């Protein structure tokens, strides 16, 4: 497995990484690896238009139910 050395890490970044490592019950090294993986993983793109259409359809359904009551 490859290894890297990080130099000149700002103190505030180091503190935040250590805090997150403790929060996630990981070593600092494992937290940095998890953060790098998260930053470099391709994310699933959300179809915003489809979500809007779905929300409008649900809203229209409820409006009909209320007006029928």
Q: Is the torsion defined by CA of 36, 40, 41, 44 positive or negative?
A: positive
CB-based contacts of 20, cutoff 8 Å, min separation 6: 31, 35
Q: What gap in Å lies between CA 38 and CA 44, rounded to an integer?
A: 12
* pLDDT single digits (tens) 20-67: 999 999 999 999 999 999 888 877 788 899 999 999 999 988 877 777
pTM of the model: 0.59
């Amino acid at each position: 497995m490859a290894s890297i050395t990080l130099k000149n890490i700002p103190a505030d970044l180091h503190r935040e990484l250590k805090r997150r490592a403790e929060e996630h019950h990981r070593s600092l090294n494992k937290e940095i690896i998890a953060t790098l993986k998260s930053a470099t993983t391709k994310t699933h793109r959300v179809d915003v238009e489809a979500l809007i259409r779905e929300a409008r359809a649900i809203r229209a359904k409820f409006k009909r139910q209320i007006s029928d009551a």
